[in-house]
């Protein structure tokens, strides 16, 4: 085999980053449409009748219903990145989300140009992380809106853990020691081994790794891949659990009850994973994500609607699966990173 850059075809490697961004946008539109329906300010006929009755009786619950409509309005604004926090006048969150999302978008544009110039299909990790930041902002908007409108987070089943503690949850002893968490890591490692049964070139044969428009030797290339896998795993673990369990499952349980709410949230979580990291259709991944959503949702329920352990389980599953798959068959890595081999 020659020493030239080894690439998979577009059929095997997925589609270009511009198409991937379009697919992320499609998922965002679908999710936004769902949130608009879920948190619509328009009440059902029964709700309207209830409000009329309460207003007639001058019941204080009228004020609570009105305050919750303020929460719904904030969530609709949050469908535009940082706009929900702008509506709530959350200056710190506006700076944090606005700055990070703009920076990640700019880096994504740079990487997209590099991918086009080098004629490759590497997954645009910066755009992916920007998308996760937007997901997380939906949760923080929801939580801040409830607080500012006088709702008790514990009574609403919303986790009040500070964000910095949610990001460190996968590394806390009390979470790692839970079998539901380390079991997810073991399962992720097994999936990483099984998803690449036909081993190609060995990890020990790697000469260099092309990552982020630069060539690195095997050691530093592996460090770059591991750092990418770590960032994506942590970003997905925190953002997806905060949104899908912390907001959507919570709302589904309020509407349909604990059991049906869990099933609804799990199905929606699976639907959001019908596209793979490279933007291609992934029906099997959607089915698997539905089962994973049920597992994580049940873990969320059994821990009294606290997010730490679902986040930890999600992180360790993703990180173990991606790391094991790379070591077993580096050419078949999920990020589309190009490799050259020394033979």
Cβ atoms within 10 Å, residue 46: 8
pTM score, two decimals? 0.83
Lay out the sheet containing 214-217: strands in order across. 214-217, 206-211, 338-341
| 1 found inside a domain | no
Retrieve residue 245's tokens. Answer: 């369990």
Task: For residue 4, tell me if it sits in a domain.
Answer: no
Query: What is residue 15's predicted lDDT score, i.e. its pLDDT?
Result: 45
pLDDT in tens, 247-281: 999 988 988 899 999 999 999 898 888 876 666 67
Looking at the 3D structure of the chain, how many domains does it have? 1
Residue 62 has pLDDT above 60, yes or no: no
DSSP category for residue 281: B
Closest CA to 204 of 332, 337, 335, 329: 329
Whether 3 is covered by a domain: the verdict is no
Q: Can you give the pLDDT at residue 90?
A: 94
Report yes or no on 207 lying in a domain.
yes
In a domain, 2, yes or no: no
182-191 burial code (b ≥16 CB/10 A, e <16):
bebbebbbeb
Residue 66 domain flag = yes
What is the tens place of the pLDDT at every residue in 95-136? 999 999 999 999 988 888 877 766 666 788 898 899 999 999
Are 158 and 142 spatial neighbours (Cβ–Cβ below 8 Å)? yes
Full residue range of the structural domain in which residue 130 is found: 10-341
Contact (CB, 8 A) for 265 and 248: yes
Q: What is the mean pLDDT of residues 199-204?
A: 66
How far is CA 69 from each of CA 136, 144, 246, 281, rounded to the nearest angstrom?
A: 21, 14, 19, 37
Instruction: Reply yes or no on whether the pLDDT at 9 is more than 90.
Output: no
319 falls within a domain = yes
Residue 234: predicted pLDDT:
97
Strand runs (DSSP E) across the chain, as ranges? Answer: 206-211, 214-217, 338-341
**5 is a domain residue:** no
CB atoms within 10 A of CB 9: 7
Identify which has the larger pLDDT, 101 or 220.
Answer: 101
If pLDDT is split at 50, 70 and 90, which confidence band does 143 have?
very high
């Amino acid at each position: 085999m020659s020493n030239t850059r080894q690439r998979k075809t577009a059929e095997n490697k997925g589609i270009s980053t511009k198409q991937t961004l379009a697919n992320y946008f499609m998922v965002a539109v679908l999710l936004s449409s769902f949130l608009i329906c879920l948190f619509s300010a328009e009440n059902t006929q029964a709700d309207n009748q209830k409000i009329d009755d309460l207003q007639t009786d001058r019941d204080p619950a009228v004020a609570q219903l009105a305050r919750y409509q303020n929460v719904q309005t904030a969530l609709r604004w949050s469908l535009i990145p940082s706009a929900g926090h702008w509506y709530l006048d959350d200056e710190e969150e506006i700076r944090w989300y606005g700055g990070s999302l703009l920076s990640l978008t700019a880096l994504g544009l740079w990487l997209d140009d590099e991918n086009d110039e080098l004629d490759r299909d590497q997954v645009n990790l910066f755009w992916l992380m920007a998308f996760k930041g937007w997901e997380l902002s939906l949760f923080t908007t929801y939580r801040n809106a409830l607080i500012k409108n006088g709702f008790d987070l514990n009574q609403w089943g919303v986790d009040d853990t500070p964000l910095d503690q949610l990001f460190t949850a996968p590394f806390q002893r009390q979470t790692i020691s839970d079998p539901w968490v380390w079991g997810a890591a073991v399962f992720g490692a097994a999936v990483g081994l099984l998803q690449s049964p036909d081993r190609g070139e060995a990890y020990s044969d790697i000469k260099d790794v092309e990552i982020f428009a630069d060539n690195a030797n095997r050691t530093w290339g592996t460090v770059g891949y591991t750092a990418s896998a770590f960032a994506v795993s942590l970003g997905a673990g925190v953002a997806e659990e905060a949104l899908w369990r912390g907001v959507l499952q919570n709302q589904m349980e309020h509407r349909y009850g604990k059991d049906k709410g869990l099933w609804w949230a799990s199905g929606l979580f699976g639907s959001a994973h019908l596209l793979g990291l490279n933007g291609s259709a992934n029906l099997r991944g959607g089915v698997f994500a539905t089962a994973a959503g049920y597992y994580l949702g049940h873990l969320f329920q059994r821990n009294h609607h606290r997010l730490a352990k679902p986040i930890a389980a999600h992180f360790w599953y993703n990180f173990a699966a991606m790391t094991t798959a790379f070591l077993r068959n580096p050419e078949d890595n999920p990020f589309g990173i190009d490799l050259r081999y020394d033979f």
